Structure 1
Amino acid sequence: MRFALLFATLAVFQAMSVAAQSLASRDLHAAATQGDLKALNAALDAGIGVDSADGQRQSALLLAVAGDHLQVFNALLARGASVNALAANKDTPWLLAGALGRTAMLEAMLALPPERAPDLSLRNRFGGSALIPACERGHVETIALLTRRSKIDVNLVNNLGWTCLLEIVILGNGGPRHVAATKLVLAAGANVNLADREGVTPLAHARRRGQVEIARLLEAAKAR
């Protein structure tokens, strides 16, 4: 009887501990989402793991990237947060920062020691890298950082059959930022004749879309 009571008491304490941990974990993710540095530090000081994930397997670092909360992001990085923690939708802090143009965050991640460095082999849900969506959206500063400071593959082909150059042309508007993006990826060694799955080259796409300046850049790079 006494043993049964003891086990029941232990089970209650364990359940209370799990519930407390779950609540503190929610506090951590809420603080990262809201950019609340004080609440974030309180949750971490309470013993919550810096890479603990929410129901979508999102880490606090990923949520800080999503909300563009640089101070919270830096605090989490200083606490050892992983830049490669994979969410259910295949986002990582590194991949999402590229897609959203979080250049300062990317720079901080590139400055990490090798054992914590971004894993360039990881792909987003479209099979792309941090660079491809940055090119699509014309995040010029981000593209400059990625092509100059990392060993990212500028000729990677995603699940749609598109490279970063093809995404600039197909999904961009041909305006100044996409022109600048084109110059950067060309300087980084983008293959101007790597066509899509239908065999349509970046130059053909640019001409079809009336992207005159980008077409001129491609022609100068001997595109066909």
Structure 2
Amino acid sequence: MRPRLFGSLIGASIAAFSLAPQTVGASMLENQLISAAETGDPDKVKALLKEGASIEARDASGATALLAATHENRVDAARALIEAGADVNAKDKIQDSPYLYAGARGHLDILKLTLANGADLKSTNRYGGTALIPAAERGHVETVKTLIEAGIDVDHVNRLGWTALLEAIILGSGGEKHIEIVRLLIKAGADVNLADGEGVSPLTHARQRGYGKIERLLADAGAR
């Protein structure tokens, strides 16, 4: 029995060894794919995909190659990955996806690519917010306009109890970009009386911060 057992162990070891180069090779390809996406090399991305690199491979943070490209706003690499079928809604460990990150950071070209290729407008980030909410907060006017035109819910409430309108006021600067975002949200039908979790209205927040132009926009839209 012992010789048989020894032989079985040897056979298993040889089989495992024979598989190891393939596993390592695949990992190397996928690491190279993520690196090529991050540095913005679409030709390398395409070549690695042809060699068999998994398009949905993830790094230690859970980011796919497409999310890595989105982090650095590498439009051509992102386009190559999306055209090859990359999932624009694939989330990393902190619940960012290419679509959500592009929206939050104002990476407009990549955002438009994700919207044209299956972006889930209802998907939410780790704060329970849609892409529109951080875009409004950070003053990304064209991003807000693009998301509104795509049909996103302008009155979605995140876990903080805030809508895009509230975040534009509470976390915005009160400057021209945030004034324009408030105007866009009102035009899109945002509820100007939808208060935060403590019952404080957008108008009250604007008034408390001395944002006169925003206050007038809200009042003209029926805010109380």
Q: Percent identity?
A: 44
Alignment map for 1:28-39 (pairs within 5 Å)? 28-39=33-44
Amino acid in the other structure paired with 1:136: E
2: CA distance between counterparts of 1:136 and 1:82? 26
Pairs aligned (count): 219
Displacement after TM superposition at 1:5 (Å): 4.2
Displacement after TM superposition at 1:151 (Å): 2.1
Displacement after TM superposition at 1:9 (Å): 2.2
- Dislocated runs of 4+, deviation >6 Å: none
Q: Any conservation in 1 of the 2:98–2:114 contact (CA below 8 Å)?
A: no
Q: Which has the larger radius of gyration?
A: 2
Specify the alignment match of 1:118 in structure 2: 119
Specify the alignment match of 1:212 in structure 2: 212
Specify the alignment match of 1:128 in structure 2: 129
Cα-to-partner distance string for 1:136-195 (whole Å, 9 max, x where unaligned): 0010001111101x2211000001110000000000001010011011111111100011
SS at match of 2:143: helix
Q: Identify which range, 65-74 or 21-30, moves more after superposition.
A: 21-30
What residue ranges of structure 1 are gaps of 5+ in the alignment? none
Specify the alignment match of 2:14 in structure 1: 9
SS at match of 2:46: helix
**2:92 is matched with which residue: 87, 90, 96?**
87
Q: Any conservation in 1 of the 2:193–2:202 contact (CA below 8 Å)?
A: yes
Displacement after TM superposition at 1:26 (Å): 1.0
Amino acid in the other structure paired with 1:221: A
Displacement after TM superposition at 1:4 (Å): 4.8
1: CA distance between counterparts of 2:176 and 2:48? 44
Cα-to-partner distance string for 1:23-48 (whole Å, 9 max, x where unaligned): 11111111111112233223212201
1: CA distance between counterparts of 2:44 and 2:155? 42
Does residue 1:63 correspond to 2:64, yes or no? Answer: no
What residue ranges of structure 2 are gaps of 5+ in the alignment? 1-5
Displacement after TM superposition at 1:2 (Å): 6.1
1: CA distance between counterparts of 2:160 and 2:177? 23
SS at match of 2:102: helix
Amino acid in the other structure paired with 2:95: K
- How large is the RMSD of aligned CA atoms in angstroms? 1.3
Specify the alignment match of 1:183 in structure 2: 183
Amino acid in the other structure paired with 1:196: D
Amino acid in the other structure paired with 2:81: L
**2:32 is matched with which residue: 9, 14, 27?**
27
TM-score (norm 1): 0.93
